[in-house]
Amino acid sequence: MKIGLLGCGVVGKEVLKMIDAMPSEKVEVVRILTRNKRHEPRFTTDFNDLMNDDIDTIIEVMGGLHPAYEYIKASLNAKKNVISANKAVIAKYFKEFADLAIENEVSFKIEASVGGGIPWIRELQRIKRMDTIQQFSGIFNGTTNYILDRMHQYELSFETALMDAQKKGYAESDPSSDIDGFDIQNKCAISASVAYDTFIDVDKIPVFGIASILKEDIDYFKSKNLVCKLMGFSRHYGSSISLYVCPVCLNGLMAHVGDNLNIASCTSQQLGKLEMIGQGAGGSPTATAVISDLLDLFENNTTPFLFHHSLDIDNSKELHHFYLRQRIEDFHEELALSYEKDETYIYMKTKRMTLNELLSIVSSKDVFLALLEDKHENR
């Protein structure tokens, strides 16, 4: 198998190392595309160098929407298998890529796009062969989990915890995709598309991130023995699904998933609940997911993604109490079931409502909200 690698950064370098170290001469990386020129002969800055007959599989680990979209499309049309870790481009163009792969009789593989080293996508596909997936949820972003964990454990401010995450290489210099929840939004779109055989429009998933969280919020959660996590949630309701991303306050197993770890959980009719904890990002864990896709190709063990159902996102049945922190002058008393206050803020438990309803009322940067998980809820 001759491989063309698109990108040789944090993930690409590890993928290259692992393939170069493989004992089998049957798998080799023959061309590597990067933005900046390198001196090793395999490297190129011209994508067309990868479109020759020598290469049968493209591994895309360059990121971004464009030109990743054009390169993946061109590769599938040139009858090359594609393995991608790029959740942004997959979430947006999943159906187009999956259909193109089927049309061209090649494979499109995406294990590394959600949960890093956690074998999440293949597990969803495996369960679906014999069972019906009813719901899934998870901490799907290591950077925000690390920030929240540091805020809880070491009483750091959000800014200090973010700087710490950046120093450790967990957060990018522009962290907005992580802290505003868009990274989890992409991962939820991909997970739901796989779990329910339906293509999800990622832009329709409501999202609230952790960019506005304050030490005051963490102090409040601690006083109630709660831990805050940024999570994605989905449930299958027959003719529709619920799907949303927001912070949640909880105290069960998920509360103990600290550091930069991820947890992915799904419930299906026969199997019940399955939970997997592991490294959700980082060069080596993500590269192992890419390599497991590659070995599947090698062993001819691939399942195409089919989107036979048409399911809309409808969150109207997902009614919850929320924690809402607002400035005193912005107090929305009509939302409150109960509240406490200090000199600056109101800390409220809202009446039962959906995230969509709450977001239509409070959109200011000056609030923080988190779903208060119902003890009886079995996610």
Ligand X SMILES: NC(=O)c1ccc[n+]([C@@H]2O[C@H](COP(=O)([O-])OP(=O)(O)OC[C@H]3O[C@@H](n4cnc5c(N)ncnc54)[C@H](OP(=O)(O)O)[C@@H]3O)[C@@H](O)[C@H]2O)c1
Candidate list 3, 5, 8, 184; residue touching ligand X; CB under 6 A: 8
Stretch that binds ligand X, among 6-14, 212-220, 235-243, 292-300 (CB under 6 A): 6-14
Taking CB under 6 A as the rule, does residue 86 contact ligand X?
yes
Whether residue 353 contacts residue 376, with contact meaning beta carbons closer than 8 Å, is answered with no
Backbone dihedral angles phi then psi of residue 335, each to the nearest 5 degrees = -85, -15
Candidate list 7, 138, 209, 232; residue touching ligand X; CB under 6 A: 7
Taking CB under 6 A as the rule, does residue 9 contact ligand X?
yes
Taking CB under 6 A as the rule, does residue 257 contact ligand X?
no
| Minimum separation from the CB atom of position 119 to ligand X (A) | 14
Whether omega before 247 lies within 30 degrees of 0, making that bond cis, reads no
| Minimum separation from the CB atom of position 136 to ligand X (A) | 18
Taking CB under 6 A as the rule, does residue 206 contact ligand X?
no
The gap from C-alpha 28 to its chain's centroid, in whole angstroms, comes to: 29
Taking CB under 6 A as the rule, does residue 5 contact ligand X?
no
- Label residue 187 exposed, middle or buried (CB < 10 Å: 0-12, 13-18, 19+): buried
Say whether 209 sits in a helix, a strand or coil. Answer: coil
Residue with tokens 């040139």: 78
CA neighbor of 244 nearest in space, from 287, 191, 196: 191
Taking CB under 6 A as the rule, does residue 62 contact ligand X?
yes
Return all residues near 111 (Cβ < 8 A) that are at least 6 apart.
83, 119, 120, 121, 122, 289, 290, 292, 293
320-349 residues near ligand X, rule: CB under 6 A: none
- Choose the catalytic residue: 80, 92, 109, 187: 187
Q: For residue 156, how many C-alpha atoms fall within 13 Å in the half-sphere facing its CB?
A: 16
The gap from C-alpha 33 to its chain's centroid, in whole angstroms, comes to: 25
Closest to ligand X by CB, 50 vs 226, is 50
Candidate list 61, 156, 250, 287; residue touching ligand X; CB under 6 A: 61
| Minimum separation from the CB atom of position 279 to ligand X (A) | 9
Taking CB under 6 A as the rule, does residue 284 contact ligand X?
no
Closest to ligand X by CB, 15 vs 371, is 15
The yes-or-no answer on residue 187 being catalytic is: yes
Q: Contact positions toward ligand X, by CB under 6 A?
A: 7-12, 33-36, 61-63, 67, 85-87, 112, 116, 281-282, 286
Active site residues per annotation: 187
